[in-house]
Amino acid sequence: MAKLVLTHLGGPTTLVEADGWRILTDPTFDSPGRRYTFGWGTSSRKVAGPARPRDAIAPVDVVLLSHDQHADNLDDSGRALLAQAGTVVSTVPAARRLAAPNVRGLADWESTTLTAEGRPPLTVTATPARHGPRFSGPITGKVNGFALHRDGEDAAALWMSGDTVLYDGLREVARRMPVDVALLHLGGVRFGFTGPVRFTMTAREGLELTQLMRPRVVVPVHYEGWTHFREPEDVARQALSELANVHWLTPGTPAEI
């Protein structure tokens, strides 16, 4: 299988280069220092800026937007980028809210195929995600993961989890879909008034999922840069240390995977 080139830009934001396609996940390019509200009394302050500015990333053919309702996955500068992208693939509710001609909303397990002159077709499949404990959907909103399939290949060249806890929907992904590279959103997000309740995977949950999924490479992202992350890189590295196939990206530095 041809390699992917990944460049982690900070938070969830990762540039994926494959077969001439430039694919960006969850664009966040605002400067650090600002506090953002996430609704229902939750908020977080951004403490790290992007490894590269937004203008240095152009052109972008595809944006995979796991959800639009939280600024740590789509901030103001990221929203400005959406209009410049060829196609934005997101959730059905996000497509309604964004209401732009280049945005496609996918339900769980729905696919769309992208074509461009001089490049092989690229199929994007939406996968289940749950951004918190059971019954948290009305509060946290709909989230998708996304899988990229090259033309003629059954296995996903790349699967991004989106912001999610480990639950049966992710286990279904592991059962149904062979994955080459797994881009895992970690960080163990918690907020003060919600106590021990987590809204994204911990590294131990990422380890459990990886053992079920068995991808060739695991790439952790979205575990630092905001005050609501409670499991930083050193903790995640320790939890995932028994995996031989973990690749930690250096922000701003392209890596062939």
65: number of CA atoms within 13 Å, CB side? Answer: 34
pLDDT, tens digit, for every residue of 166-220? 999 999 999 999 999 999 999 999 887 677 889 999 999 999 999 999 999 999 9
Question: pTM here?
Answer: 0.96
| Cα gap 121→126, rounded to integer Å | 17
Residue 61's nearest CA partner among 78, 27, 79, 84 is: 84
pLDDT given for residue 147 in this prediction? 98
Is the confidence at residue 1, as pLDDT, over 60? Answer: no
96-107 pLDDT, tens digit each: 999 999 999 999
Query: pLDDT class for 139, splitting at 50, 70, 90?
Result: confident
Tokens of 9: 């830009």
How much is the pLDDT for 152?
84
Q: Which two tokens stand for residue 139?
A: 């509060």
Mean pLDDT of the chain: 95
Instruction: Please give the average per-residue pLDDT across 99-128, as a whole number.
Output: 97
Q: Is 184 left (phi over 0), alpha (psi -120 to 50) or beta?
A: beta
Give residue 138's pLDDT. 83
Please tell me the distance from the alpha carbon of residue 122 to that of residue 219, in angstroms, as a whole number.
21
Name the band, by pLDDT with cuts 50, 70 and 90, for residue 85: very high
- Rounded to the nearest 5°, which phi and psi values hold at 136? -85, -5
Residue 128 to residue 146: CA distance in whole angstroms: 9
Q: Which domain holds residue 221?
A: 5-256
Q: How confident is the model at residue 40 (pLDDT cuts 50, 70, 90)?
A: confident
For residues 130 and 164, the answer to whether their CB atoms sit within 8 Å is yes
What is the predicted pLDDT for the residue at 41?
A: 77
Confidence of residue 232 (pLDDT cuts 50, 70, 90): confident
Number of domains in the chain: 1
- The DSSP annotation for the chain comes to -PPPEEEEEETTEEEEEETTEEEEES---PPTT-EEEEETTEEEEB----SS-GGGT---SEEE-S-SSSTTTS-HHHHHHHTTSSEEEEEHHHHHHH--TTEEEE-TT-EEEEEETTEEEEEEEEEEE-SSSTT-HHHH--EEEEEEEETT-SSEEEEE--S--S-HHHHHHHHH--EEEEEEE-S----GGGTT--SS--HHHHHHHHHHH--SEEEEESSSSBTT--S-HHHHHHHTTT-TTB-PPPTT--EE-
- From residue 150, how far is each of 3, 4, 20, 114 by CA, in Å? 12, 11, 12, 10
Beta bridge partners of 121: none
**Beta carbons of 13 and 27 less than 8 angstroms apart:** yes
Here the CATH number for the domain that contains residue 65 is: 3.60.15.10
Mean pLDDT value across residues 224-232:
93
The predicted structure's pLDDT at residue 197: 87
The percent of residues in the chain predicted with pLDDT above 90, rounded, is: 89
Q: How many CA atoms lie within 13 A of 125 on its CB side?
A: 19
